[in-house]
Amino acid sequence: MTTYDIIIVGAGINGCALARSLHLKGQKVLVLEQDCIASGGSGAAGAFINPKISKSGPLKELIETAYLYSIDFYAKNFPQYTTSAPLLHIAKYQDDNEKVDYFKQHTTISTQDVPQCLKKMLTAYTQEFSSVYLKDNAVLEAKEICTALIEGIDFYKKKVKKPFYEDGFWKISDFQSKKLVLCTGAYEEIFEEDYIRLRKIHGQRCEIKSTSVMPSTVHHEVSVSATKKNGCIAVGASHYLNKDEMPSLKDGAHELMQLARKSVRLENVELVDTFYGMRAGSNDYLPILGPLIDAKKSLDSDETALKGNKIASVITYPHVYMMNGVGGYGFVLAPYLAELMKGHLLDAQDLPELLDLKRFYYRWAKKKGQK
């Protein structure tokens, strides 16, 4: 039995970012994944480092903080897989114009005028909408970043079923650790808890080559990246809540290119590759970060949660945590959330209350009590 300080289940961007953060603090970390690194939603992600373009709210503020952190994080630590280039965000609908204009006037992120070289590549259709041009932005190589994050860290391909707790250790096959962190995205749950509800978001991106050189990333109906260091342009990613609605990879790539060409002029396009994956979003769109609540033991201990008591006591699984629900902002949020989780795991630092699993537990318990 090999003993670790912490076992992380899931080798997407969340699990890999957290593993690196803990490893750099001298922790002996093991990452377990049922398939290869970034085999799910992270591998299919466009890996665009985009802020949330909205007027206000906790998610917008969290993502803006994480955005500024991650821009520096990737450029400094993984420049070989990071293409730094500005971002032009164009309102998707006429109804979004006011939101984009408000963001442009109030954001702390540096903005500037759209350069002439990019204007020449935009279609007449894009002129109908408001836009904001962000000076500092980046697009990543998704799988390469995840792989680089856990370089030098133990990694095993293993499908994790229910771990068992014995003598102060969580045991999985031939491995054990005192702490367990679940970064499993929207895939099969390891601990079945009815109060946790994750939206499964199916998506696709394609990689293309073109004789047109994109000087900036353009986000409109889909995202079209700046021409990356590897010579490719990323287009994506699509969003489907029902897998049955997903087109084939070939048809999906064709749809993505049709949408891309509504925004930018691309000449002599060659399809290089396509990627599919499923990512997880929480019901309130905020990430999940913190200790995993044992609902049965919590209700047995304090039934007032059934009556809507939002300060009812809870009982958590011993040293089990979640880092999940980042939706389409995984590569933006993961480095920042990993630092927060590291501080909690190693130094008992408080996590943001708005990300705590209690918000789902109390809501679920109240609804259960009304039945």
109, exposed or middle or buried, with CB in 10 Å at 0-12, 13-18, 19+? Answer: middle
Mean per-residue pLDDT, 129-151: 96
Do residues 95 and 9 share a domain? no
**pLDDT attached to residue 203:** 86
Greater confidence (116 vs 244) lies with 116
In terms of domains, do 234 and 315 share one? Answer: no
Indicate the pLDDT class of residue 371, thresholds 50, 70 and 90.
confident
**Shared-domain flag, residues 227 and 364:** no
Q: Given this model, what pLDDT does residue 58 score?
A: 92
pLDDT of residue 108: 87
Q: What are the tens digits of pLDDT across the range 28-68?
A: 999 999 999 998 889 888 899 999 998 888 999 999 999 99
User: Does the pLDDT of residue 146 top 80, yes or no?
Assistant: yes
66 lies in a domain? no
Residue 82 forms part of a structural domain = yes
Give domain status of residue 65, yes or no.
no
- Give the whole-angstrom CA distance, residue 18 versus residue 342: 7
3-state class (DSSP) for residue 248: coil
Reported in sequence order, the residue ranges of the chain that DSSP labels E, i.e. its strands, are 2-9, 29-33, 82-84, 87-90, 131-134, 138-140, 154-157, 164-166, 169-172, 175-182, 198-209, 217-219, 223-224, 233-236, 270-282, 288-293, 316-324
Cα distances (angstroms) measured from residue 154 to each of 2, 8, 62: 11, 10, 31
**The domain containing residue 93 runs over which residues?**
51-59+73-141+201-278
Band of pLDDT at residue 187, cut at 50, 70 and 90: confident
Q: Are residues 149 and 10 in the same domain?
A: yes
Q: Do you know the residue count of the chain?
A: 371
Q: How confident is the model at residue 4 (pLDDT cuts 50, 70, 90)?
A: very high
Whether 46 is in a domain gets the answer no
Torsion of CA 355, 339, 179, 306, to 10 degrees: -10
pTM of the model: 0.95
What is the sign, positive or negative, of the torsion defined by CA atoms of 243, 245, 251, 255?
Answer: negative
Residue 68 within a domain: no
Question: Does any domain span residue 64?
Answer: no
Are residues 8 and 135 both part of a single domain? no
- CA distances to 25, 292, 367 from 361, rounded to whole Å, are 32, 10, 10
Q: 178 and 206: one domain?
A: no
294-309 pLDDT, tens digit each: 999 999 999 999 999 9
273 assigned to some structural domain: yes
Among 247, 278, 309, the domain-final residue is 278
Within this chain, do residues 126 and 213 fall inside the same structural domain, yes or no?
A: yes
Mean predicted confidence (pLDDT) in 262-278: 93
Read off the tokens for 306.
């059934």
Give the tens place of pLDDT for each residue, 198-220: 888 888 999 999 999 999 999 99
Q: What is the pLDDT of residue 104?
A: 92
Q: Cα dihedral sign for 142, 143, 144, 147?
A: positive
Task: Say whether both 86 and 111 belong to one domain.
Answer: yes
Burial of 131 (0-12, 13-18, 19+ CB in 10 A): buried
Helices (H), the chain: 13-23, 41-44, 58-77, 97-106, 116-119, 142-149, 249-263, 295-301, 330-347, 358-369
> Band of the pLDDT at 286, cuts 50, 70, 90?
very high
Average pLDDT, the chain: 94
Q: Which CATH number fits the domain that encloses residue 223?
A: 3.30.9.10
Q: Tell me: the pLDDT tens digits for 328-348?
A: 899 999 999 999 999 999 999
Residue 172, φ and ψ in degrees, nearest 5: -135, 110
Peptide bond into 237 cis (omega under 30): yes
Hey, how many other C-beta atoms are within 10 angstroms of the C-beta on 287?
A: 30
Q: What is the CA radius of gyration of the chain?
A: 21
* Number of domains, the chain: 2
pLDDT, position 71: 95
How far is it, in rounded angstroms, from Cα 308 to Cα 148?
A: 45
Q: What is the pLDDT of residue 44?
A: 85
Query: How far are the Cα atoms of 239, 255, 275 from residue 250, in angstroms, in the given order?
Result: 16, 9, 10
Percent of the chain with pLDDT over 90: 82
Per-residue pLDDT, 197: 83
User: Which CATH number fits the domain that encloses residue 320?
Assistant: 3.50.50.60
What pLDDT score was predicted for residue 51?
92
Please give the distance of CA 26 from its chain centroid, rounded to a whole number: 25
Residue 58, token pair as written in the block: 């906790």
Query: Do 155 and 23 lie in a common domain?
Result: yes
Q: Are residues 135 and 220 in the same domain?
A: yes
Looking at 256, 278, 300, the residue that finishes a domain is 278
The token pair at 81 is: 């897989």
Looking at residue 298, its pLDDT comes to: 97
Task: Please indicate, yes or no, whether residues 81 and 170 belong to a single structural domain of this protein.
Answer: no
User: pLDDT band at 162, cuts 50/70/90?
Assistant: confident
- Of the three residues 252, 278, 304, the one that is the final residue of a domain is 278
pLDDT band at 245 (very low <50, low <70, confident <90, very high): confident
Same domain, 365 and 239: no
Model pLDDT, residue 247: 85
- Residue 307 in any domain: the answer is yes
Q: Which residues of 11-20 are buried (b: 16+ CB within 10 A; e: fewer)?
A: bbbbbbbbbb
